[in-house]
Each structure stands twice: as C-alpha cells, then as structure tokens.
C-alpha cells in the first residue's frame, strides 16, 4: 500500500510511505523529500500509484519501484511549478504529465 505525504506534513519536507506484507509481517519503507509548492498538484496520488505500478511491471522490486515513482512525481511537480493552468487562484491545476516526455532528466 502506498501512502502519499504532502497534506499533513510540516511545509518544507514531506514523507511518502510504502507498506507491504512479508511472511505474515508488515514492513514499511519511507522516503522523505522536499515539499514542492505548486498550483499544479491535483492528481499526485493517482500519478504516484500509476507510476509505482508501471515501474513494478517493468521488473522493479517494490522498494526500487517506490523510489522511482516518488522521484517521478517530484520531477513532474518541479517541472509543473512555473505553469498556471487554472484561473481560480485558490484552485489546483492538474499535474502536467506531458512534461515527463518533453524534458530530459
């Protein structure tokens, strides 16, 4: 199970969580990283879950797929920051997924 941080964290850092059952026990892994403030963050949870599934289907183990998915979402958030896709100043625009294909790195 993936749990995305961001809504309840301290504002500068956030923590994402991966929980998995191993031999009747629950193991957890965390990844703490910078909280990126952007107007384009709607859909980050769905994107994280989809990226995790995609990386895992490409042969990654749970731990590496988790890390890759978190880094992927972080990259999209960084690249989405300069854009403003909604006119409501209190609204959140969607994550700009096309940027993953258009910008290397």
Q: What is the pLDDT of residue 27?
A: 94
Name which of 74, 91, 79 is nearest 39 in CA terms: 91
Cα–Cα distance for residue pair 30/49, rounded to 1 Å: 15
Q: What is the pLDDT of residue 37?
A: 81
Q: Which residue has the tokens 């941080």?
A: 5
Longest CA span, the chain: 50
| CATH code, domain with 10 | 3.40.1190.20
Q: What is the number of domains present in the chain?
A: 1
Q: What is the mean pLDDT of each run of 10 residues along the chain (105 residues)?
A: 76 90 94 86 90 95 96 90 72 78 54
Structural domain of 42: 2-102
Q: What is the pLDDT of residue 88?
A: 67
Q: What is the pLDDT of residue 57?
A: 96
């Amino acid at each position: 199970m993936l749990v995305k941080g961001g809504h309840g964290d301290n504002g500068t850092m956030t923590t994402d969580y991966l929980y998995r059952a191993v031999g009747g026990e629950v193991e957890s892994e965390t990844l703490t990283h910078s909280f990126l403030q952007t107007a384009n963050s709607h859909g980050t949870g769905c994107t994280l879950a989809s990226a995790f599934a995609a990386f895992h289907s490409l042969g990654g183990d749970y731990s590496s797929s988790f890390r890759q998915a978190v880094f992927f979402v972080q990259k999209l958030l960084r690249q989405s920051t300069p854009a403003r896709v909604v006119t409501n100043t209190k609204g959140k625009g969607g994550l700009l997924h096309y940027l993953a294909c258009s910008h290397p790195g």
